[in-house]
Each structure stands twice: as structure tokens, then as C-alpha cells.
Structure 1
Amino acid sequence: MSKFEYTSEFECSVVELFSYHERKAVVNRLIPPWDDVVVLREPQNLIDSDAEFLVTLAPLVCFRWISKHCDYVKNKQFKDIQITGPFRRWEHTHLFGSNKDGKSYLTDSIEFEPLFSSISSIFTEKLIREKLRKTFSYRHTITKNDIDFIKKQHTDKQFVIGIAGSSGVIGRELTSFLRLLGHTVYKIVRKTAKQRDEIFFNLEKEELTNIPEHLDIVINLAGEPISEGLWTDKKLQAIYDSRVVFTSKLIQAIKKLEKPLSHYINASAIGYYGDRRERLSEDGSKGDGFIADLCQKWEQVAKNDLFPTTILRIGVVLTPRGGALKQFLKFVNLNLGATLADGNQYISWITMDDLIYGITHIIHNRLEGVFNMVSPSPVTQKEMVDTISNKLKKVRILNLNRKTVELIYGRLGKEVLLANNYVIPDRLNLSNYKFYFPYLTSALDHLLGSDG
């Protein structure tokens, strides 16, 4: 039998720390983004309920992990014990305590035994311990940041929120976090609503059905991925229709609701500013190109005079679960990380955590208008790929010149991969939002599990 422990101190009371772990959707929130884990069944409580997960280790290699909570003592401890999974025995005890200065601590204590004794070698145990260290370093950081963010909120009001694009990478994370805060979240779907938490959007009739008695906020994150696949005519039309046409019809459907919204939030992108090297705040003018024109039309159809509206000009969102970072990791892990052209084009990025904190900050403070959803520290493409390579202990050996990038990727290469985007979040800064990951190095440490 082996034992692993990880302890951290928290700037909150033990009551706040324990209560955080009792919140709805906290299980989703604490899964590291580098793990391919799907929550099939959330625990209903920490006292005596089960949780079920689907864990994928590699293509076609997956297993179900079922655990049961027990030994619950309010503000002191709870356990989860493996019922079915990859270990012969797994018992995870969460121990909570108070320090004399009013702070609290959490110790995650795990006793484990591999399923097959033949693999319980020193080498295997070392790998398991390193995996656990990375996991709990991430979990404790998320816990600290979430509690800090929650304590700074100046509202206890719980909203009923509909999210279009809830199945996307951003939508899934935002849904879990808003539910963790106690908000009621409905998924706006284009198929007939089958779940209690779904609202059916009939695109042709411009109608929302199966809606709750009162809907406070709608967040529209829907859109065909821009950077996946070549920009064929069919792809460009799908990008346009999924944003401009979809949003126009969604606004018309919202206008038909008996009770007006208190807030409407619509995604856009920093591609609005085009390929420009100068520092750009929310007051920056529209740039040139397909993406800039698309964003302008997208924002125009989202704006209306019936309810307060916020436009999110989102930068490159960093998470191993999808988007640009997932693509970077794919190539860097093969030692195929490359600078594109001279690599000096700026990338305005933001971590997934800061993006969902920022959106929630906008909701709670009822902020309207345009917001650049980017970190305050843009980096060059060369800095981005070199930093990722260093974190993964890989080597960058490739350089693709401008003509090669444009030959391979066409307009996508010219307008996205080679574009300069030096964008600054002036309005978020002025609203007193505090970035949790303002710098790339610490952001990647957190996202890749290379800290601690």
C-alpha cells in the first residue's frame, strides 16, 4: 500500500474552504485540462453519494471510474473510495483545518494500490506520484483562485442564464463555473430539447421554446471554429452563417419573449482589428479582411436598444482542451514546433480561467459595451512556441517562411496565423478586474502542470 499527500494553505476560513467543495459542479471544475475525463454522474452530496467518470488514456483506451463518498464530518473531512477503476484500492481523504491566523489548510491524502502487483514497481509508483502532484497542484490553485474570485463579488443575486454554444470548449467551462456559483444555466440548443436544462431554438421560426418562467441573461458563444480546416468557400459560409445569421435570428427570438432580458452578452473576436502592430484598445477602429468584416457585421446584429448588451472581443484562448494551445501542443510534443515567418507577429492571448472569470465579472457588475478579452501581456508567436517548448522540454527546430504558410493555409494563414494582434484589455482593467494569469510563463505552468 502506497500513500501520497498534498497540503496547501488558503486565504479563507475553513468554513469557506469546505463549502466550496460542497458546491454544485465543483467536480467538473477541478479536473485538470490535460486529462481527458468526462463526468458521467456528479455526486449529489459529499455524505453518501456516488460519482462516475469516463477516463480516456489514448484512442480506444478508456475505462469507467466509480467512486463513493463517505466518512463525512462537516468542515473537517470527507472521503471518496474507488468502487470501480484502475486501482486495486484507492482511498482519498480530504482533510480540512484552521490555522491560528484565520487561514485554513487542505490536505489531500491518498492511499493506493495498483490493480496488478506486477506493475507496482518503483518506476511505476514514481509516475503515479508525479501525476498526483501535478493534479493536486492544479486543483489547489483552482480552489484558491475560485474562492478569491467569489469573495470579491459584490452580489449574491443568482441569475437564470441561457447559453448558446454551450457544447463548445468555452461554453462547457463557463456553464460549469456559473453553476458552481449558484446560477441556473440552460443550454440553448438547435435540436428538440430533451433535457430539463435545455432551451430549444427554432432557427427557421426564430423562436425559443421550453424556456424557464424568467430568463435573465443570454450569452451567445455559438460559431463554427475559425482555425480548424482550410478556408474553402463552404467553410467561410459556415463561419459567417453560424455567427451573423445565427445571432440575427437569436436576437429576433429573444425580442419575442414576454419578459425582456436584463443583459445580453455576445462573443466576437479581436480579429475585428485586423492585422496591425500598434497597441489597440476597445476604441481601436476596424481593420481589413474577412475576419474584420465578419466581426463588424456580427457585432452590428447583436446590438439592440431593448436590453443592455455586451460584446466580448475574445483573443486566443489558452487551454489544452482545444483551440490554439491544443494545436501548439500537438506539434511541439513531436518536436515540430515552428516559428511562422519571422515569428515576430503578436498574439493576444487569455487563459480559459481568466476568460470565464472575466465574463462572470461582467455579469455580476452589469457591464455593457465592448470588452477586449485578452491578458495584459501579448507575446510574439516565437515567444509563444519557444515557451511551450521549454515547458515540455522539447526543441523547436522548424521555421516556415511567409510564402510557405500562405501556400499551406491560404487565407487562414494570412489573416490568422501571420496576423499581428497587439490588443490590450483597457476596459477590463478600468473595471478593477484582477487577472489571475497575466503572464504567459505562469499561465503555461498552470495549464500544463509544470509548476509546483
Structure 2
Amino acid sequence: MTVLITGATGLIGQEIVKKCHAEGINVHYLTTSKSKLDTEPNYKGFYWDPDNNEIDHHCFEGVTKIINMVGATISKRWTDSYKKIILESRTKTAQLLQDTIKKHSYKIDQVVSASAIGIYPTSLINYYEEDNTEISETFLGKVVHEWEAAVDDFRPLGANVAKIRIGLVLAEDGGALPEIVKPMKFGAGAAFGSGKQWQSWIHVEDLAALFVFAIQNNFEGVYNGVAPNPVNNNELTKSAASVLNKPLILPNIPKFAMKLVLGEMHILLFESQRVSSQKVEGEGFGFKYANLRPALQDLLG
């Protein structure tokens, strides 16, 4: 099997490539950086420039499945101009892939795309499964809704489409975790707001394994990419401090303070989504890190 991966050089993409190679799956990948082009027997890079509608269509040769991970980071101040980049980096790239497949009559059997649990409205009491139809009215809710709609447009081309709604990704060298623990290392760690907001998290290794499992088992539809045991922000903060053997002596950081520092992006710290993993488990996927503490010990130990 040969799979085309967009976003293969990013935090999660790199883990997916490793997992593909461990499973004997060949990887083609798209990159906007010519310096990142590589050609090996099981790993071949192709250049694209979505801003200018450019793509090397040979990336699709021999490919039957696509893992779509492309998208500008949301962990950057949300100016009006950057909001546009966040949205278009997800929707315009899907359109470019679809137009290229159509133009050159490539046959793609399945597309597995990243999505996000930010589509679910914030709630301290709801337990979100994939059949929930409510959509968050936040900027993130709008982005995910339009992103998923753009990905669904692979269906008329004959592909099965699966969307994996990703939670808080825990990784050693990127994402939110290094930022969460940075102040703790100086004895300045604290939870945010009430600390009661739910954090549906997943270890990056499990997330990569889930994407590969999805292509191996021909997933179709919406799936939550979260570990089975979400925690609230207080628990996350206390567990990280405990693993680092650091005290937590400061009061919780109020919402208004983070709004001053981060602007609209502060909602990333205060939104609450308790999300179910039962559907992927029902498909036979097993988590290596089902509980928070072992995940943190692996990443921070």
C-alpha cells in the first residue's frame, strides 16, 4: 500500500510516517519546502504551493489512500488575517487535491482527514459522541465545520471519507504540553479559570497509530481521536506537576488575564469538551496510553 500524507513533516505527521513504515506502508508526502524533498524506497516527497495552486500531480501515482493533516497552527494569535490563513490552509488545500485528482483521473479509495473536537460546544456536563449535531459558535467551531465540509467533497470522486476529531495532543517536543509544563519547572504552574473544564487528550503515539489503523480498516464517517479517560484542567495540571515533582502553589489563572495576553485565542485554555472514544474502541483500536499519568510519565519522565 502507498499512502499520500499532507502535513507529513509536522508534529503528528512525522509520527504517522514512522508508524506507516513500521507497518510496511509506503509514503508519498507533500511539502511546501523544496529543502524537505526526499526520495527513498518507502518515502518520497513532492512539492506543492497551495497559495498559488501548484502541485506535482505525480504525488498520486500508485496511491490508493490519503492521510490529510495539513493546516496552519491554531497556537498563534488570531488576528483577522491569521484567521483567514487558519481556515484556508484547511479548505483550499482540500480543493487543490480534489481538482488535481479529477483533472488527471486518479483513483483514490479512501481519505482520512484530521479534524478537531473544537466543533463541539463548550460544556461541563455534556459527553460528546460522534453523532452530536450541535456546532460550537466559536471561531474554531466554524473552522472545523467548514474543514469537514471541504473534506466531504472527496466523496463524489469515489473515495470513502473518514474524519478524525482530534483532542489535546500530548507530545514531548511540540504542541501544548511543553507550554503547559514550562512555568511548572520554575514553580509557577497553575490551572486555568475554574479548572473544571474538560480536556479530552491523546498521546501523539496513539493518535498516529489511530490514523494508520483507520486506513488499514477502511474507516468511513466521523471518529473522535481522544483517549478513553478525559480529565479536567485541575487534574491535568496536578498530574503534570506531580510527574515533574514540582509544587503547585499559585492560585488558578483567571480568564480575563489570559484574554489580555492571548486575545481571542485564550478560549483554547477555557473551552470544555468531554469527548467519547467508544466508537474507535468498538472498531477494535487499542490505546497504549488510556490514562493520563502513564502518558505524562512517558513524555516527561
Q: TM-score, normalised by structure 1?
A: 0.61
Q: Structure 1 residue 419 and structure 2 residue 266: aligned?
A: no
Partner of 1:106: none
Counterparts in 2 of 1:213 and 1:395: CA distance versus 1, 3 Å: same
> Quick one: which amino acid aligns to residue 226 of structure 1?
I
Partner of 1:256: 103
Partner of 2:242: 390
Paired residues of 1:273 and 1:288 also in contact (CA < 8 A): no
Give 1:442 deviation, angstroms.
1.5
Q: Structure 1 residue 312 and structure 2 residue 170: aligned?
A: no
Partner of 1:186: 28
Give 1:318 deviation, angstroms.
0.6
Aligned residue runs from structure 1 range 176-255, under 5 A: 176-191=18-33, 194-196=37-39, 197-203=44-50, 204-205=52-53, 207-211=55-59, 213-227=61-75, 229-255=76-102
Can you list the C-alpha shifts for 1:77-131, whole angstroms capped at 9, x where unaligned?
xxxxxxxxxxxxxxxxxxxxxxxxxxxxxxxxxxxxxxxxxxxxxxxxxxxxxxx
Q: Secondary structure at the match of 1:377?
A: coil
Give 1:248 deviation, angstroms.
2.2
Aligned residue runs from structure 1 range 8-407, under 5 A: 159-191=1-33, 194-196=37-39, 197-203=44-50, 204-205=52-53, 207-211=55-59, 213-227=61-75, 229-277=76-124, 278-285=126-133, 286-303=135-152, 304-306=155-157, 307-398=159-250, 399-407=252-260
Paired residues of 2:29 and 2:59 also in contact (CA < 8 A): no
Can you list the C-alpha shifts for 1:256-280, whole angstroms capped at 9, x where unaligned?
3433111111111000113123100
Can you list the C-alpha shifts for 1:209-260, whole angstroms capped at 9, x where unaligned?
3336311111111111112x32112221221121122222222223334331
Q: Secondary structure at the match of 1:287?
A: coil
Aligned-residue CA RMSD in angstroms?
A: 1.7
> Quick one: which amino acid aligns to residue 195 of structure 1?
D
Paired residues of 1:282 and 1:426 also in contact (CA < 8 A): no
Paired residues of 1:372 and 1:428 also in contact (CA < 8 A): yes
> Quick one: which amino acid aligns to residue 289 of structure 2?
F
How far apart, CA to CA, are the structure 1 residues paired with 2:99 and 2:121? 29
Q: Equivalent of 2:293, from 441, 445, 448?
A: 441
Give 1:410 deviation, angstroms.
1.9
Q: Secondary structure at the match of 2:101?
A: helix
Q: Secondary structure at the match of 2:180?
A: helix
Can you list the C-alpha shifts for 1:141-165, whole angstroms capped at 9, x where unaligned?
xxxxxxxxxxxxxxxxxx1111111
Give 1:207 deviation, angstroms.
4.1
How far apart, CA to CA, are the structure 1 residues paired with 2:95 and 2:284? 32
396-405 vs 378-387, which moves further: 396-405
Percent identity between the aligned chains? 29
Can you list the C-alpha shifts for 1:166-221, whole angstroms capped at 9, x where unaligned?
11100111111211221111111234584321123353346433336311111111
**What is the aligned length?**
289
Paired residues of 1:314 and 1:373 also in contact (CA < 8 A): yes
How far apart, CA to CA, are the structure 2 residues paired with 1:325 and 1:276? 22
Q: Secondary structure at the match of 1:267?
A: strand
How far apart, CA to CA, are the structure 2 residues paired with 1:322 and 1:205? 29
> Quick one: which amino acid aligns to residue 346 of structure 1?
W
> Quick one: which amino acid aligns to residue 431 of structure 1?
E
Paired residues of 1:200 and 1:209 also in contact (CA < 8 A): no
Paired residues of 2:37 and 2:46 also in contact (CA < 8 A): no
More helix as a share of residues: 2
Return 5+ residue gaps in structure 2 as ranges: none
Paired residues of 2:67 and 2:211 also in contact (CA < 8 A): no
Give 1:373 deviation, angstroms.
0.1
Return 5+ residue gaps in structure 1 as ranges: 1-158
Paired residues of 1:208 and 1:253 also in contact (CA < 8 A): no
Q: Secondary structure at the match of 1:383?
A: helix
How far apart, CA to CA, are the structure 2 residues paired with 1:259 and 1:243? 21
Give 1:305 deviation, angstroms.
2.4
Larger radius of gyration: 1
398-407 vs 342-351, which moves further: 398-407
> Quick one: which amino acid aligns to residue 96 of structure 2?
K
Can you list the C-alpha shifts for 1:348-378, whole angstroms capped at 9, x where unaligned?
0000111111111111111111110001111
Counterparts in 2 of 1:309 and 1:281: CA distance versus 1, 3 Å: same
Q: Secondary structure at the match of 1:338?
A: coil
How far apart, CA to CA, are the structure 2 residues paired with 1:168 and 1:213? 23
Give 1:325 deviation, angstroms.
0.8
